[in-house]
Structure 1
Amino acid sequence: MEYVQERIATVHDLTGRVPDAPVDRAAVVVPMTDREYAGLAPERTLSALEDVDPARVIVPIRAPADRVESFVAWLSGFDLPLTPLWCNAPAVEALLDGAGIDAPAGKGRDVWLGLGPAAREEFVALHDADVKNYDASQVPRLLAPLEEFDFAKGYYARVENDRLYGRLFRLFYEPLVAALAVRHPEPILEYLGAFRYALAGEMGFTSTVARRLRPEPAWGLETGLLGEAFGTAGFGGTVQVDLGVHEHDHRAVSGETGLAGMSEHVAGALFRVLDERGIDPEFETLAERYREVAERFLAGYAADAAFNGLAYDRAAERSQVDAYAEAISPAEGDDRLPAWADADLDPGAVLDASGRAIDAL
């Protein structure tokens, strides 16, 4: 435990106290797919939110039509001011097409759809639904610093089954950003490298910031949002918040839905952020420079694991580094969603379309 302040303000859990927070002026956005329907972790999350009593809870759901009715019925069983938002409802898709928004379906698009109506409240908290040990303190912890800051980013340790997790952050994002910063000592890379867990899905925003975000539509969401936050909040308006230890579901490394597939989205989001600021990485040598920096990180994680009596397979981690290195290539296109402040679309119309579609099932 320590209390060091870093390049961005860092709030530590030193006493276990749950801070006073403006939960009655906040909306909580919890995106789910049919994979989360009636699961133990989402059940725990929503039950804990009953004790938080926020002004509003918006659950963007992405599920096939034959699952939505039972999904919504399950959500209605929680004592919350909860609004389900069926993100892939035909009527919602038609609204997006009419507004010229053709971003592919994915977590980022679901979050964006939820942010629009959520930003009617003064503050917005965003978090995932797959945290197995979620507790009611997390939303107040994210919201409390927003009385002074514009953007709050959660951080936590990923330790389960006597080993270190958080592999995509530890073994890909962190060493890649560090390798880039050596050749490009720019403020944006300093900012991107300042977060203790950059790929955490737990964040808080003022409504002003929430309306100005342009999210990536898929798994590059968290990385892209940090690039957006640099422009809207900057160093002075950003804080990171200690959320303890998280236990999440784990993905395989290989495959389109595995960590290697996710690394392509993270890399694309990262390089779009840099390209927008005129930073042109030397891709011919970047993969090798990333591997070199990652090797230094592996040594550090091996020492950390040994110090804490955790299992650590350096060869397996190095193999993951090699897999992630394949994702290092220039970003292709830009399908970020528009900021709600600029979108030719009303959030209320999206909620209405979703509600009509659900009622028609």
Structure 2
Amino acid sequence: MEYTQERVATLHDYGGASPDAPVGRATVVVPMTEREYAGLAAEGVLSTLAALDPERVLVPLRAPAERVPAFREWLDGFDLPLEVLWCSGPRLADLLDAVGLSGAAGKGRDVWLALGLAADSEHVVLHDADAESYSERDVPKLLAPLAGDFDFTKGYYARVESGRLYGRLFRLFYEPLVTALAERHDHEILDYLGAFRYALAGECAMTGDVARSLRVQRRWGLEVGTLGEAYRSAGPDGVAQVDLGFYEHDHRAVSGPTGLGDMSEGVGDALLRVVEEAGVSPDYDTLPERYAAIAERFERGYAADAAFNGFEHDPAAEREQVETYRAAVSEPGPDTRLPAWDDAPLSTAEVREAAAADLDAVR
């Protein structure tokens, strides 16, 4: 147990934190794909939200047309003020194409669409539906700082399950990459990015104003890109991180089209774009090697931590992951982020109308 502060305010749970929070003035955004249909984790999340009584729950859904009616019927079974935003419908696709916003679809695009609709609430909470350890205190914890001095909050938690250390992309890629940058560059953005205890957590909350100001990554890198946007919009003094305890949810393989290797490319692209926009100019000729050396040092520390706790740990497999992630340390590619809703070439009313028509057509 510790109580130290970071460059962003760090709010700890010392065993029973259950703060008062403006839950009734918040929209909770829970993105889903067809794999969440009737899943135990998603059932637990939605049942818990029903007990909290938020202003609204908004589910941006990415699924083929034939799966939507059953999904909608399942969601209607929860005692919630719930709105489904079907993100895969043809009318919505045509609308985005007409304003030049067609392109890669993924979680980031789904979240961007939902943030536009959710930002008419005073506060917005965003989290995934795959948490097996979801607690009724999570949403109030994320929201409580927004009633005070903060405009954006980020959740953090220990990725420890079944006697193993997880959170591999954070501790073997993000953390050592930020450290490698900070060793060469004295800049507030690196102090800020290095302050987050689990920067790749999907759980966050923000004011409606911040939600409208975010430029959003289309696919991987959403969480890191959001931290950069929060820095731009709220500044480090307007951001807090809150302790959500332990979290258990899905794990990904390293290889494959949706594995951690692919994810590292999106995370690296988003992270390095954030630091470049803040004024840092990385030396990309030496950065991959410096990253790998620091990642090896971090891995030795995590191996010792695992042994200290009697955990199962495979140092060779972790070093192989470092080599995979090294390939993601390169200059950012083209900027394909979706625009802030404050600057978007379409209205949220148009999005809601198109998505509702798509839903009606498959009902």
Q: TM-score, with normalisation over the residues of structure 2?
A: 0.97
Residues 69-120 of structure 1: CA deviation (Å, up to 9, x unaligned): 1111111111100000001111111111222213410111100101011111
- Counterpart of 2:356, as a letter, is G
Residues 112-133 of structure 1: CA deviation (Å, up to 9, x unaligned): 1010111111000000111111
Report how far residue 278 of structure 1 moved.
Answer: 3.4
Residues 292-336 of structure 1: CA deviation (Å, up to 9, x unaligned): 111221122122212222112111111111111011111110000
Which residue is equivalent to 2:190?
A: 189
Report how far residue 271 of structure 1 moved.
Answer: 1.8
Which residue is equivalent to 1:73?
A: 73
Report how far residue 40 of structure 1 moved.
Answer: 1.1
Which residue is equivalent to 2:303?
A: 302
178-187 or 49-58, larger mean C-alpha shift: 178-187
Structure 2 CA distance for aligned equivalents of residues 104 and 17 of structure 1: 40
Asked whether the 8 Å contact 1:99–1:344 carries over to 2, the reply is yes
Residues 264-304 of structure 1: CA deviation (Å, up to 9, x unaligned): 01011112212323322111111110011112211221222
Structure 1 pair 282/165, CA: closer, same or farther in 2 (3 Å)? same
Report how far residue 28 of structure 1 moved.
Answer: 0.3
Report how far residue 205 of structure 1 moved.
Answer: 0.2
The answer for unaligned runs of 5 or more in structure 2 is: none
Which residue is equivalent to 1:325?
A: 326
SS in 2 for 1:341: helix
Which residue is equivalent to 2:175?
A: 174
**What is the RMSD computed on CA atoms of the aligned residues?**
1.0
58-67 or 93-102, larger mean C-alpha shift: 93-102
Which residue is equivalent to 1:57?
A: 57
SS in 2 for 1:35: helix
- Counterpart of 2:15, as a letter, is T
2:90 is aligned with 1:90: yes
Asked whether the 8 Å contact 1:28–1:125 carries over to 2, the reply is yes
Which residue is equivalent to 1:229?
A: 230
Which residue is equivalent to 1:337?
A: 338
Structure 2 CA distance for aligned equivalents of residues 12 and 313 of structure 1: 31
Which residue is equivalent to 1:154?
A: 155
SS in 1 for 2:61: strand
Residues 40-74 of structure 1: CA deviation (Å, up to 9, x unaligned): 11111111100111001100000111111111111
- The 4+ residue runs of structure 1 with deviation greater than 3 A are none
Structure 1 CA distance for aligned equivalents of residues 115 and 100 of structure 2: 18
Asked whether the 8 Å contact 1:103–1:337 carries over to 2, the reply is no
Which residue is equivalent to 1:256?
A: 257
Structure 1 CA distance for aligned equivalents of residues 93 and 163 of structure 2: 44
Structure 1 CA distance for aligned equivalents of residues 273 and 192 of structure 2: 15
SS in 1 for 2:197: coil
Structure 2 CA distance for aligned equivalents of residues 323 and 15 of structure 1: 38
Which residue is equivalent to 1:34?
A: 34
Q: TM-score, with normalisation over the residues of structure 1?
A: 0.98
Report how far residue 245 of structure 1 moved.
Answer: 0.3
SS in 1 for 2:131: coil
Structure 2 CA distance for aligned equivalents of residues 233 and 303 of structure 1: 37
SS in 2 for 1:69: helix
SS in 2 for 1:283: coil
Aligned residues: 361
Asked whether the 8 Å contact 1:260–1:323 carries over to 2, the reply is yes
Which residue is equivalent to 1:100?
A: 100
1:264-275 matched pairs, under 5 angstroms: 264-275=265-276
The answer for unaligned runs of 5 or more in structure 1 is: none
Structure 2 CA distance for aligned equivalents of residues 349 and 23 of structure 1: 27
